[in-house]
Amino acid sequence: MAREIAKAYEPQQIEPRWAEFWVKEALFKADPNAEKHGKVFSIVIPPPNVTGSLHIGHMLDHTEIDILTRWHRMRGYNTLYLPGMDHAGISTQRVVVRQLAEQGIDYRKLGREEFEKRVWQWKDESGGAILRQMRQIGESCDWSREKFTLSPELSRVVREVFVRLYEENLIYRGHYLTNWCPVCLTVLSDLEVLHEERQGHLWHIKYPVAGTQEFLVVATTRPETMLGDTAVAVHPEDERYEHLVGKKALLPLMNREIPIIADEMVDREFGTGAVKITPAHDPNDFEAGRRHHLQEIDIMTDDGHMNAAAGAYAGLERFEARKKIVEDLKAQGLLEKVSEHTHAIALCERSKTIVEPRASTQWFCKMKPLAEPAIAAVERGEIHIVPDNRREEYFNWMRNIRDWTLSRQLWWGHRIPAWYCQEHQHVTVARETPVKCSTCGSQNLTQDPDVLDTWFSSGLWPFSTLGWPEATPDYKTYYPTSLLITAYDILFFWVARMIMLGIHFTKQVPFRAVYLHSLVRTASGEKMSKSSGTGLDPVVLNQRYGTDAMRFCLASMAAPGTDIVLSDDRLAGARNFANKIWNAARFLFMNLDKFEQGGTTLEELAAPEVRAKAPYAFNGGVPLVDGWLFARLADTVALVNNALANYRFHEAAQGVYQFFWGDFCDWYIEWVKPELQNVDRERAAVAWKNLFAAFDAALRLLHPLMPFLTEELWHQLPQRPGTKSIALDTYPEPRPDWKNAAALEQFALVQEVTVALRNIRAEMTVDAKKKLAAEFSSADGKTRSVIESNCEGIVRLAMLSELKISAGHLPQAGGIVRSTSQFNVRIAHSAEVVDIAAEKLRLRKEIEGLEKAIASKEKQLGDATFRSRAPEKIVRGMEATLTEQKLELQKLRKRLDELDKAA
RNA sequence: GGGCGACUAGCUCAGUUGGUUAGAGCGCUCCCCUCACACGGGAGAGGUCAAAGGUUCAAGUCCUUUGUCGCCCACCA
């Protein structure tokens, strides 16, 4: 049975073949009876980029999610993804608006309905593109229009939730100061505003006091807002200004009389100690305005220009207006001075323009009543946040939570289910479009033009997608979900809100655990993000290195706590590992041909039931190397299971890497090579059976991390009729009969001896192909017998012609000796191929290190307090090591001595 | 202004509750194109764990201070 396998692993030939399968079969059809045994694993997937392209940062979520889902699936859990495919929000709207603008179309002229149609059209195209890309990189994702947040089903849920919150008085409409983005043309929630330190100016402006010759000097960073001033405030106990309180100031440029008031909020130390009050354009001033019943004058248009209230400055852009105002003030001699001033400015997260604080009427959600149960749930451990330190961040934010501005002045999103009657502006909030005003009965209603914040509907995701408020089978089985994985930067936007809304509406937590992973950065350290376009393209990386390599690389770097810096070197390393697996498989199948010529088939050697019974014995005992390999496998399985259970992906990756490459390839395969060709066909058959069993277990072990490669190779092994995928097979469990401490210890000795002999070889300047005679000695009979029975392998792997075993001393002269406390090995050779000076140097260095170690240990062991306080185990261990080290030191000194004498 | 994180080999990073000579990958040096694999094999070199102090029988690991870098939060005009 010849198998055509290319020399190097070529992911392009394999991955597209399997991608379709993942999506359709492997993960969504779990064991239907699993939930009866309480084995259910459901996971919430963060929504990918809505702007039409994938990026690597997003791939980390999906890699981790996919690893865990496959792992659970193989362990018999009923698994479910809750695919999050879309946010309804401003990013989407901006993309489409831009596209329309490029075609010369003003979206506002299109009208709302037509605009929505265009967005859907774009989403079908770009969403379909995402799907194709995701399949290309092997992501399992159920992408369908039905799952969009804006689908009719989910829209109904959003409306239901809004109405319920309104009825509970948790949603209210209010006139407040909000963050306004003049580019996005909408309000922003506090979370959507970034702060940045910038060098700015502090303008000191003289306001004449009415009826006097005096001036009151105020300091401001935003002079243009003075057009909307309705007061000047000073501290009530400030003697400098005491006499002015109650008088009027004359607002320059506008010639408007405004009151001079006293308010505690004023900091006497800052600036001049006098503050201009602009209630419509500053948060502090807004509060002050309320306290003193001041008029609010909004001086700006939506897009950041001065409006009619700005008098002569109407029509000017806000920063143009600032310039002009400063010039005019200067011309009138009212600008006292300008000083440098660094301050934090507020920027719109998306457009990076300076946010304008503006008083307006918006919908808000009261957060305190929602936050309290959400805090308690995490405190009680009903939701487990990993890593731990993020818990504190969560608590901090939740305890200082402020009301949430829900409404957005956009066209793309869930429309707010509120209607106003033309006559009295009464508000009617309803699940279905109302026919008359609930207050006055007017039939002249118009719906609120605004939509809800993206995160409002996203916050409902874990239950809205499962059929809530109906108690559907999905909802009953999968809710609360097991886990949410996402990057930590989204904790407040999404995670916290899911928790709050989930608990409020379902009386249950939405997920049992939240794993917050690191951010992926580019080699230059930039944070990869959707909106800034700094992400690497996973499809390109996929083509270059392969999906499995990319996944493995991400997993191996995903240690919690620190950010991931992705580099070509690292990816290449993972690619090399994939290739190593590929070539190990190639070896298995290629050499099998030789064996098969004798009439035995692959089916007989590697059938699933045959593999299940390994390790096989020969001549009444399992060969040492097989016992060792399966013991190592058992350890690795335990390590990987434990690592994945604790979201320690890097440990899992490192564990399988070490096992497959270090143990399986470097030692096991090399060791059993001759046995596979053994003329004793019974011996050969045992070797093959064990090899296939080990390989099969290794593939299953690797599968969650490298699904495509393992799938392909697994299909080359004989399988039971009807089996479809390795993903539906079982995950290796550490079987008790695999544990074998003796084999671990004995083979470690064999390895140590082999390495010591190779080391001597490498020190000698001899032809690499020349086989050398070597000697082994040990005072311990057991040690000698282990080496004796594994002599052949050592001779072969250390390139020897023979290995003599004895109990006596091995002289240094005429060769090189290596020794441990347990044994000595020696390769004899003529003096000219040995660099005596280098050997002496090496010996001295080793002696020095040992002396240091021995001294520190002797000191510690000589300390009575140490002996009385340290655990017995530690003391005993140290004593044993000390004895060994002393013996080694003795041997080293003797060798050095011999060399000195010879010279 | 508050809070958090990082600082370990030339580079990128591991190091779970403090415990016996601190690990990996890449890079580097030397030897090998040995019939699975040069995306490979073999053997090495390389670290006073950012600095100082403290707790302890014992500190990379816990505490304090300092330095450098990064992140998040915050209405001081």
Q: Write the DSSP string, A849-882.
A: HHHHHHHHHHHHHH-HHHHHHS-HHHHHHHHHHH
Nucleotide nearest to A546 (CA to C1'): B39
The distance (Å) linking the CA of A71 with the C1' of B37 is 28
B chain positions with any atom within 7 Å of a protein CB? 3-6, 12-15, 19-21, 24-27, 30-32, 34, 36-44, 56-58, 71-77
Distance A566 CA to B50 C1' (A): 25
Q: Which nucleotide is nearest to A885 (CA to C1')?
A: B21
Note the pLDDT of residue A85.
56
A642 token code pair: 């434990």
Gyration radius (Cα) of chain A, Å? 37
**What residue is closest to B74 (Cα–C1')?**
A195
Short-list A600, A545, A593, A583, CA closest to A567: A545
Residue–nucleotide distance: A657 CA to B16 C1' (Å): 20
Q: Which among A860, A555, A534 has a CA at the least distance from the CA of A706?
A: A555
Which are the contacts of A79, defined by CB distance < 8 A and separation ≥ 6? A27, A28, A30, A40, A41, A42, A43, A69, A72, A73
Distance of C1' in B37 from CA in A677, Å: 20
Nucleotide showing the shortest C1' distance to residue A797 CA: B42
Q: Which residue is nearest to nucleotide B32 (CA to C1')?
A: A768
Nucleotide nearest to A568 (CA to C1'): B26
**What is the rounded CA–CA span in Å between residue A632 and residue A410?**
60
The token pair that represents A396 in the structure block: 């901090």
Which alpha helices (H) appear in A112-220, and where do they start and end? 112-136, 152-167
The DSSP code for A353 is: P
Distance (Å) from CA A845 to C1' B46?
14
The residue whose CA lies nearest the C1' of nucleotide B34 is A769
Peptide bond into A615 cis (omega under 30): yes
Taking Cα atoms as reference points, which of A610, A644, A577 lies closest to residue A73?
A: A644
List alpha helices for A546-623, DSSP H: 547-557, 568-596, 602-606, 608-612
Q: How far is the CA of A178 from the C1' of B3 (A)?
A: 25
Protein CA at A140 to nucleotide C1' at B24, angstroms: 31
Q: What are phi and psi of A107, to 5 degrees?
A: -60, -30
Q: Residue A818: helix, strand or coil by DSSP?
A: strand
Q: From the CA of A561, how many Å to the C1' of B5?
A: 8
Residue written as token pair 């408007």: A256
Q: Mean pLDDT by 10-residue block, N- to C-terminus, for chain A (903 residues)?
A: 63 82 57 67 69 65 87 87 64 81 86 88 75 71 59 88 95 87 83 77 89 87 91 87 88 89 82 87 86 89 89 89 92 87 79 85 90 89 84 82 86 91 93 93 92 88 88 88 84 88 95 85 58 65 89 88 79 94 94 81 90 93 96 95 92 95 96 93 93 96 94 92 88 92 95 95 86 94 96 95 91 85 90 82 90 89 89 91 92 89 74
Looking up tokens 């993972």, which residue turns up?
Answer: A574
- Cα(A502)–Cα(A157) distance, integer angstroms: 13
Closest residue (CA) to C1' of nucleotide B19 is: A874
Q: What is the rounded CA–CA span in Å between residue A329 and residue A201?
A: 15
Contact A188, A180 (CB under 8 A): yes
Token pair for A94: 């901006």
Nearest to A818 by CA among A838, A835, A843: A843
Distance CA A688, CA A595 (A): 9
Strands of A1-118 (E only): list them. Answer: 40-44, 78-82
The separation, in Å, between residue A626 CA and nucleotide B74 C1' comes to 62
Nearest nucleotide to A269 by CA–C1' distance?
Answer: B76
pLDDT of residue A1: 34
Protein CA A307 to sugar C1' B75 (Å): 25
Which residues, at least 6 apart from A577, have a Cβ–Cβ distance to it below 8 Å? A549, A552, A657, A660, A661
Give, in Å, how far the C1' of B22 lies from the CA of A462. 45
- Cα atoms found within 13 Å of the Cα of residue A396, Cβ hemisphere only: 6
Beta strands in A439-479 (DSSP E): 445-447, 451-452
Distance from residue A324's CA to nucleotide B5's C1', rounded to whole Å: 45
Report the distance from CA of residue A669 to the C1' of nucleotide B8 in Å, as an integer: 35
Bridge partners, residue A193, by sequence: A348
Find which nucleotide's C1' atom is closest to A666's CA: B41
CA–C1' nearest nucleotide, residue A349:
B72
Q: What pLDDT shows up at residue A800?
A: 94
In Å, the largest CA–CA distance within chain A is 118
The closest nt to A191, taking CA to C1', is B73
Identify the three-state secondary structure at position A823: coil
Q: CA–C1' span, A863 to B53, in Å?
A: 25
A822 φ/ψ sector (left φ>0, alpha ψ -120 to 50, else beta): alpha
A846: which nucleotide lies closest, measuring CA to C1'?
B21
From the CA of A515 to the C1' of B74: give the distance in Å.
Answer: 27
Euclidean distance between CA atoms A388 and A372, whole angstroms: 20
Q: Which residue's CA shows the smallest distance to C1' of B30? A: A762
Distance A140 CA to B13 C1' (A): 30
d(CA A256, CA A270): 26
Q: Which helix (H) or strand (E) holds A363?
A: strand A356-365
pLDDT at A143: 53
Token pair of A310 as six digits:
């700005």
- Bond from prior residue into A469 cis (ω within 30 degrees of 0): yes
Q: Which residue is nearest to nucleotide B3 (CA to C1')?
A: A393
Q: Are A150 and A464 in contact (CB under 8 A)?
A: no
Q: Is A459 helix (H, G, I), strand (E, B) or coil?
A: coil
pLDDT at A493: 81
CA A113 to chain CA centroid, Å, is 38
**A754: nearest nucleotide, CA–C1' criterion:** B42
Residue A114's closest CA among A92, A97, A135? A97
CA of A491: nucleotide with nearest C1': B72
Instruction: Give, in Å, how far the C1' of B30 lies from the CA of A782.
Output: 36
A759 CA, B60 C1': Å apart = 31
Q: Give the nearest nucleotide to A868, CA to C1'.
A: B57
Q: Among all chains, which residue has been given the structure tokens 């702060």? A: A195
CA–CA separation, A393 and A491 (whole Å): 9
A225 CA: nearest nucleotide by C1'? B77
Q: Which nucleotide is nearest to A557 (CA to C1')?
A: B13
**Distance from residue A792 (CA) to nucleotide B70 (C1'), in Å?**
56
Nearest nucleotide, CA A590 to C1':
B36
Give the closest residue to B2 (Cα–C1′): A396
Contacts of A589 (CB under 8 A, 6+ apart): A3, A5, A716
Residue A462 near residue A478 (C-beta atoms within 8 A): no
Q: Which helix (H) or strand (E) holds A251?
A: strand A248-251
Determine contact, residues A191/A492, Cβ cutoff 8 Å.
Answer: yes
- Note the CA–C1' distance, A745 to B26, in angstroms: 31
Residue position matching structure tokens 């090899």: A691
The pLDDT value recorded for residue A78 is 83
The model's pTM: 0.88
Complex ipTM: 0.94
Question: How many angstroms is C1' of B25 away from CA of A839?
Answer: 30
The distance (Å) linking the CA of A489 with the C1' of B9 is 33
Reference A817, options A839, A792, A802, A844; nearest CA is A839
Query: Among all strands, which nt has the closest C1' to A343 (CA)?
Result: B76
Nearest nt by C1' to A559 Cα: B14
